[in-house]
Amino acid sequence: RPGGRMVIGGAGATTTAVTITNGRFAIKSRNNDVTYEIEGAVTGDEKPKIVIRDGDKKPIEADELKNVPDEYRPMVEKLLASVRRP
């Protein structure tokens, strides 16, 4: 939805908000004590900026899915699929 905002719940996510504006997306999701923030371009080769905060642990920052720790990767994959990045 260009210029729109969509909120998704369920499937392990307490709350998820996806915003797409001018070809850019921002995803914010919270699952219990874990917060996921992902930003990037909907199309093209720009790598997304991924930030994961898990309670009091140090934030995890990654620019590629392969750099996301295994325990968080399935959720990040699902969130990125919601913006259909080619």
With bands split at pLDDT 50, 70 and 90, how would you rate the model's confidence at 43?
A: confident
Q: Report pLDDT digits (tens) over 14-42.
A: 799 999 999 999 999 998 899 999 999 98
Longest dimension (CA), the chain: 35
* Number of Cβ atoms within 10 Å of the Cβ of 61: 12
Position with higher pLDDT, 82 vs 73 = 73
| Tokens read off for 66 | 């392969």
What is the model's pLDDT at position 44? 83
Segments of 1-86 assigned E as strands: 5-10, 13-21, 24-31, 34-41, 49-54, 60-62
| CA distance linking residue 15 with residue 47, whole number of Å | 24
| Tokens read off for 18 | 């996806």
